[in-house]
Amino acid sequence: MREVLSALADGEITVSEAESRLAGYATTDAGRFDAAREDRRGLPEAILGEGKSPDEAADLAETAVETNGRAIVTRTTGAQREALWEAFDEAPAELREEGDAVVVHAPDFDVPDLEATVAVVTAGTSDAGAAGEAALIAREMGAAVTRIDDVGVAGVHRLFDNVSEIRDADVAVVAAGREGALPTLVAGLVDSPVIGLPVSVGYGHGGDGEAALLGMLQSCTVLSVVNIDAGFVAGAQAGLIARAVDGAR
C-alpha cells in the first residue's frame, strides 16, 4: 500500500489509479469500474453497455483507460458507440469496434501476444454482433483470431469451403441463431474444442435464441455452450483455452 501512496505523492500515478489499486475499483459519476478484477483471473474487465446512457458508457470507458490502459464496452448501441468515438476523438487513444463491442487502448497499452488461434464462425449476418464481441475479447486476451462468416446450414457448401481454416485454429467459437445447428456441424468436422454461442434471432415459439440454446445443449456431438448472446463469455473462454495452449508452447 505504501508503494501506491508514495507513487501518488510523487505524482507518478493519478488519484483514480491509486484508488483502483488500493480499493480494487475506481469511482466515476457514471458508476464504478472494477479495475482489480482484471488482475485476478487475467480476464479483461468489461463495461456492460446495456442499460447505460451513452454518456455513462463513455465516462466509464475514460476511467477504464485512465486506470487500466484499456476499456472494453460490450453490448453497445449505436448511440453509445458514437459517444465513445466522440469521447476519445482528441485523446491519443486507439479505438476499435467489433460486433457490438468497442475497445479503446491507451497509446502505451500492450495487448498480450499468445501463440494460439481462435476461430470465430457465424451462421449468418445476424450473428455478427455476438460473434464480434467474442472475437474482440479473444484478441484482447492475446489470441490470433480467424473469422469465418455466413456458413450457415441452409447453404452448407460454404462451410465445407472454409473448414480447413477452422481446423487450423486451436479452438472455435461458433455463433448461430434460429435452430442453432452450425456448432454441431462444425464440431463434427474438426478435432479442436468447439464452443457454441446461441444468438437471439428468430421469432415465435423458441425464438430469441431459446431454440438455438436448447439445440446446442442437445447436440449429438461434443460441444460446450454459453448463454444466449454471451459473446463476451464465449470469447473469454476461448481466450482461456488459447492461453493454456500458448503456455504449453
Residues in region 79-108 near a copy of itself by CB under 8 A: none
Question: For residue 195, which phi and psi values (nearest 5 degrees)?
Answer: -110, 120
C-alpha to C-alpha distance for 75 and 17, rounded to whole angstroms: 26
Residue from 7, 147, 162, 206 binding a copy of itself (CB under 8 A): 206
Report 175-194 residues binding a copy of itself (CB under 8 A).
Answer: 178-181, 184-185, 187-193
The minimum distance between CB 11 and a copy of itself, in angstroms, equals: 30
Residue with cell 415459439: 205
C-alpha cell read off for 29: 459519476
Helix axes 78-87, 54-68, angle to 10 degrees: 50
Q: Residue 57 corresponds to which amino acid?
A: A
Q: Which is nearer to a copy of itself, 84 or 226 (CB)?
A: 226
**Least distance from C-beta 122 to a copy of itself, angstroms?**
13
Which of residues 11, 78, 92, 204 is near a copy of itself by CB under 8 A? 204
Give the CA radius of gyration of the chain. 19
- According to CB under 8 A, which residues from 27 to 86 bind a copy of itself? 31-32, 36-37, 40-43, 50
Of residues 37 and 109, the one with the C-beta less far from a copy of itself: 37
Ranges within 115-134 binding a copy of itself (CB under 8 A): 115-116, 123-125
Mask 209-248, x = binds a copy of itself (CB under 8 A)? xxxxxxxxxxxxxxxxxxxxxx--xx-xx--xx-xxxxxx
Angstrom distance (rounded) from CA 46 to CA 199:
20
Is 181 in contact with 153 (CB distance < 8 Å)? yes
6 belongs to the binding site for a copy of itself (CB under 8 A): no
For a copy of itself, the closer CB: 7 or 200: 200
E-strand stretches of 30-75: 31-33, 46-48, 70-74
> What does the alpha-carbon distance between residue 21 and residue 18 come to, in Å, rounded to a whole number?
5
Cβ at position 32, least distance to a copy of itself in Å: 6
Among positions 4, 7, 8, 153, the unique one binding a copy of itself when judged by CB under 8 A: 153
Binding segment toward a copy of itself, per CB under 8 A, in 6-14, 93-101, 105-113, 149-157:
149-157
Least distance between a copy of itself and beta carbon 105 (Å): 21
Report the nearest approach of a copy of itself to the CB of residue 136 (Å).
Answer: 15
Measured CA to CA, the distance from residue 110 to residue 63 in angstroms comes to 18
- Backbone φ/ψ region at 42: left (φ over 0), alpha (ψ -120 to 50), beta: left
